Amino acid sequence: MRKRMGKRMQTEILKVDPKNPEKEKLEKAAEVIREGGLVAFPTETVYGLGANALDKKAVTKIFRAKQRPMDNPLIVHISDMGMARRIAELNEVAEKLAKEFFPGPLTLVVPKKEVVPAEVTAGLDTVAIRMPSHPIALKLIEAAKVPIAAPSANLAGKPSPTKAEHVIEDLYGRIDLIIDGGETNIGVESTVLDTTTLEILRPGGLPIEEIRKLVDVKVFKGKVEVAKSPGMKYRHYAPDAELIVFYGKRDDVVEKIKKLSGELVRKGLRVGIAATNLQPYSELNAEVIELGNSIEEVAKNLFSCLRELDKKADVIIAEGVEEKGIGLAVMNRLMKASAGKFYRV
C-alpha cells in the first residue's frame, strides 16, 4: 500500500534551557499553539506532540503527523486545576489523586465537558488529563493559556522519544516546531488511571504502589492478555528490528540470550542486546547496550536503547526486569514492542 506522506513543511528547532526556560522562546512556541500549529516539547516522561486541545482542526493535525489511528484518544495537558475544571468534571478520586500527584507522571481519565472536541477523546465521554512537572511543559501550557493535547512525539507504533533527536528522526518536516530541552528524566509514559472504574489502563512513570496508598485500584488486564496471546496483531513502542524478550532468573536469562545470540549470528543476522549489565556478554559478536543497574535507569534508557539498536541490528534481544515500581511499565512496553515474543525462562 502506498503511504500518503502529506506535504513536507518547515520545521523549526528551538533549544530551550530545561531548568530555566527562556520566556521569549516559550512565548514564541505558545504562539504556534494558539495559531493552530504543532509543537513537540519535552515533559518529565517522554517528548509530547502538542496542539491546542480546544481546536479540533489543530488536534486533527496531530493524528496526521503521527499517522495515528483516530480511535486512539489523546491526553490533555494542563498547567493548573482551574484549567482542568474548565474541560472536565473532577470526581472525588480525581481531586484526591490530583492533590497528591499533580504535577507529575499520572494521567486521570475523568468525565469530559462539552468544550472538548470529540477528536481529542475518540468520541468517548471521558477525557484524559495530566499536569506535567517539566518546567518547559508546564510553562508552555501557561504561556499558551489553553490546554494542550499531546500524545508522544513519535510516529505511531515506534518507541517514544526521550531526546529531541528522536523527534527529529520521526517528525522533522511534518510539524511546525521542536523544542529541544535535552533528555527526559523518567523515560516511559505516564500512568493512566480511569477514575470512573478505578482501573489502571496503562502502567507508567508513577508506580501503582504509590497510588494504592491512597486509592484501591485494579490493573486493567484486557490489553495485557491480548498482548500475551500468540499472533498478536497490535505492536507498539516497537523498533523495526524483531524484538525478543527473556525474563525470570537472571542467570538463566543470560544463558538463554547468549545461546540465541550465537544461533542468530551463525545465520548471518546482526544481533543487538539490551542488557541491564554489559559484563556477561563481552565475548559475543553482538552490539550490546547497557540499560542501567537500577530500574529507574532502565526506564530512562529503554526507548533510546531500542532506537539505537534498531540502527545496527536485525534482531534485538532484551533482558526483562522485575515487575515492581516502574518495572511494571518497562515490562509492559517490552511486551507490546515484542509482539508476543516475550518469554519467561
Residues that bind ligand AMP (CB under 6 A): 72-73, 75, 109, 121, 124, 126-128, 151-152, 189, 192, 201-202
**Cell 524484538 sits at which residue?**
243
Contact 59, 117 (CB under 8 A): yes
Q: Which is nearer to ligand AMP, 121 or 304 (CB)?
A: 121
Q: How far is the CB of 109 from ligand AMP (least distance, A)?
A: 4
Q: Please say which residue, 148 or 177, places its beta carbon nearer to ligand AMP.
A: 148
Q: Is 94 helix (H, G, I), strand (E, B) or coil?
A: helix
Kindly tell me which of 127 and 167 has the beta carbon lying closer to ligand AMP: 127
The grid coordinates listed for 143 are 504561556
What is the three-class DSSP state of 27?
Answer: helix
Query: Which one, 236 or 258, has the nearer CB to ligand AMP?
Result: 236
CB of 325 to Mg ion, least distance (A): 21
User: Using CA atoms, how far apart are residues 321 and 300, in angstroms rounded to an integer?
Assistant: 13
The residue with its CB nearest to Mg ion is: 152
Contact between 276 and Mg ion (CB under 5 A)? no
Residues 6+ apart with CB under 8 A from 113: 86, 87, 88, 89, 127
**Strand order across the beta sheet in which 199-202 lies:** 12-15, 177-180, 39-42, 47-52, 148-149, 75-77, 126-130, 106-111, 191-194, 199-202, 218-219
Query: Residue 245: beta bridge partners?
Result: 318, 342
Q: Cβ of residue 266: shortest distance to ligand AMP, in angstroms?
A: 38
Give least dist CB 237 to Mg ion, A.
7
Bridge partners of 192, per DSSP, are: 107, 202
CB of 340 to ligand AMP, least distance (A): 19
C-alpha 143 chain-centroid distance: 24
Least Å from the CB of residue 235 to ligand AMP: 14
By beta-carbon proximity to ligand AMP, the closer residue of 152 and 184 is 152
Cβ-closest residue to ligand AMP?
151
C-alpha cell at 253: 536469562
Q: Encode burial over 259-295: b for 16+ CB neighbours within 10 A, e otherwise.
A: ebbeebeeeeebbbbbbbeeebbeeeebbbbbbbeeb
Pick what 139 binds: Mg ion, ligand AMP, none; C-beta below 5 to 8 Å, kind-dependent: none
Among 107, 152, 185, 261, binds Mg ion (CB under 5 A): 152
User: Shortest approach of Mg ion to residue 186 CB, angstroms?
Assistant: 14
What DSSP string describes 231-244?
T-----S--SSEEE
CB-nearer residue toward ligand AMP: 26 or 129: 129
Least distance from Mg ion to the Cβ atom of residue 44, Å: 15
Given the complex with Mg ion, which of 62 and 116 has the nearer CB atom?
62
For residues 195 and 76, is the Cβ–Cβ distance under 8 A?
A: no
In terms of CB distance, is 180 or 189 closer to Mg ion? 189
Q: Residues near 78 by Cβ (< 8 Å), separated by ≥ 6?
A: 84, 87, 129, 130, 131, 141, 147
Q: In the complex, which residues of this chain contact Mg ion (CB under 5 A)? A: 152
